[in-house]
């Protein structure tokens, strides 16, 4: 924002692509793609929450997927500011403070018309506390995130009935249907969805950072019913193989050094001297590990 030749202006980012709602018109997303989008949304929410901004209207219409696959969170029209000091550049000529002014908002500072008891949000994506008109915080966005992730994986809304009142009742009393088996959703991912959709805010992810961390931990899981423990076991096996390879390499090196020492020792016992390079062609160890067999040749320096 600024002023040019007496006229104010606003510069915004040009986005090319489609909303997540348009993207979901073709049905559910593959789990890998859903996790990719969900991670970006979670990281975006984490940044907003860190600055004291609660979106309160998270839904597929307000998520934009660019043609390069980047997800943008849009429309903060119902956003709530909580305990944050925001610094912005004034469009007026610089003052003594360099044109920077601080606006401090408190937990009660909200947009006009959002007094306690007012129901805000979009039916089907509101958290239970929003439906009840109670005070909301960042955990309300986590609930909405869970509804969106459910929809990305299933191709249908988590809470959708014939009327808005029935949908709101579902949010307060019912659990979303199980994700279809045809979606091939990993068990760990299904648990994340359910954890986001807990009715009690205290039982959801404590922050969007924790949510993003959980998604990152399963980003390598591709088959249904795969638990994080299996991924950890694969990592342990890979580390074990690496340790064995390093141990074998070290053993081969020690055997080579020992063989070279034996050869040079026997050479010193001879009456004639020799200088050159010892070429170990083959080496093996007896079953009882008490004898080393090797074949070698000498290459004389020229």
The 3-state secondary structure of the chain, one letter per residue:
CEEECCEEECCCCCCCEEEHHHHHHHCCCCHHHHHHHHHHHHHHHHHHHHCCEECCCCCHHHEEEECCCCEEECCCCCCEECCEEEEEECCCCCCCCCCEEEEEECCCCECCCCCCCCCCCCCCCCCHHHHCCCCCCHHHHHHHHHHHHHHHHHCCCCCCCCCHHHHHHHHHHCCCCCCCHHHCCCHHHHHHHHHHCCCCHHHCCCCHHHHHHHHHHHCCCCCCCCCHHHHHHHHHHHHHHHHHHHHHHHHHHHHHHHHHHHHHHHHHCCCCCCCEEEEEEEEEECCCCCCEEEEEEEEECC
Kindly report the length of the chain: 302
Based on the domain organization, do 208 and 244 belong to the same domain? no
pLDDT over threshold 90, residue 104: no
Q: Which residues form the domain of 258? A: 232-300
Q: Domain ends where: 194, 226, 258?
A: 226
Q: Which residues contact 71 (CB under 8 A, 6 or more apart)?
A: 20, 37, 40, 41, 44, 63, 64, 65
Based on the domain organization, do 211 and 276 belong to the same domain? no
Based on the domain organization, do 207 and 243 belong to the same domain? no
Based on the domain organization, do 106 and 72 belong to the same domain? yes
Based on the domain organization, do 239 and 92 belong to the same domain? no
Based on the domain organization, do 92 and 176 belong to the same domain? yes
Angle between helices 187-196 and 31-50 (to 10 degrees): 30
Euclidean distance between CA atoms 201 and 93, whole angstroms:
45
> Given pLDDT bands bounded at 50, 70 and 90, which one contains residue 232?
low
Q: What is the CATH number of the domain that holds 73?
A: 1.10.510.10
Based on the domain organization, do 252 and 222 belong to the same domain? no
Based on the domain organization, do 128 and 192 belong to the same domain? yes
Indicate the pairing of strand 292-300 with strand 2-4: unpaired
Q: Which of 66, 53, 56 is nearest to 20 (CA)?
A: 66
Based on the domain organization, do 173 and 51 belong to the same domain? yes
Angle between helices 31-50 and 138-154 (to 10 degrees): 170
Based on the domain organization, do 116 and 255 belong to the same domain? no
pTM over 0.75: no
Based on the domain organization, do 163 and 280 belong to the same domain? no
Split into its structural domains, the chain has a count of 2
pLDDT over threshold 80, residue 261: no
Q: Domain ends where: 226, 259, 290?
A: 226
Which residues are catalytic, by number?
A: 57
What are the beta bridge partners of residue 284?
293
Which pLDDT tens digit goes with each residue over 147-184?
999 999 999 999 988 899 999 999 999 999 999 888 88
Higher local confidence (pLDDT), 113 or 294: 294
> Given pLDDT bands bounded at 50, 70 and 90, which one contains residue 245?
confident
Based on the domain organization, do 143 and 279 belong to the same domain? no
> Given pLDDT bands bounded at 50, 70 and 90, which one contains residue 42?
very high
Mean pLDDT, the chain, whole residue set: 78
Q: Which residues contact 168 (CB under 8 A, 6 or more apart)?
A: 123, 126, 131
Q: Domain ends where: 170, 192, 226?
A: 226
Euclidean distance between CA atoms 231 and 104, whole angstroms:
46
Q: Which of 59, 48, 92 is nearest to 211 (CA)?
A: 48
């Amino acid at each position: 924002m600024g002023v040019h030749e007496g006229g104010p202006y606003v510069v915004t980012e040009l986005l090319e692509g489609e909303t997540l709602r348009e993207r979901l018109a073709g049905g559910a997303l593959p789990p890998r793609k859903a996790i990719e989008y969900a991670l970006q949304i979670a990281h975006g929410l984490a940044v907003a929450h860190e600055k004291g901004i609660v979106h309160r209207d998270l839904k597929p219409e307000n998520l934009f997927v660019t043609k390069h696959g980047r997800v943008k969170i849009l429309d903060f029209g119902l956003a709530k500011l909580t305990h944050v000091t925001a610094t912005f550049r004034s469009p007026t000529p610089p003052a003594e403070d360099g044109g920077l002014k601080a606006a401090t908002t408190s937990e009660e500072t909200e947009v006009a018309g959002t007094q306690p008891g007012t129901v805000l949000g979009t039916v089907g994506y509101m958290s239970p506390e929003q439906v009840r008109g109670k005070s909301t915080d960042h955990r309300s966005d986590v609930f909405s995130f869970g509804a969106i992730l459910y929809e990305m994986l299933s191709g249908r809304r988590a809470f959708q009935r014939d009327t808005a009142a029935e949908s709101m009742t579902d949010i307060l009393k019912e659990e979303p249907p199980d994700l279809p088996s045809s979606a091939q959703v990993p068990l760990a991912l299904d648990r994340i969805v359910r954890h986001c959709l807990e009715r009690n805010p205290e039982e959801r992810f404590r922050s969007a950072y924790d949510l993003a961390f959980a998604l990152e931990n399963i980003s390598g899981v591709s088959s249904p019913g795969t638990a994080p423990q299996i991924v950890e076991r694969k990592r342990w096996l890979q580390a074990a193989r690496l340790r064995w390879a390093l141990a074998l390499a070290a053993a081969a090196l020690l055997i080579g050094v020992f063989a070279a020492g034996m050869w040079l020792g026997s050479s010193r016992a001879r009456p004639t001297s020799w200088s050159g390079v010892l070429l170990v062609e083959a080496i093996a160890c007896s079953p009882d590990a008490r004898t080393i067999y090797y074949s070698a040749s000498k290459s004389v320096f020229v």
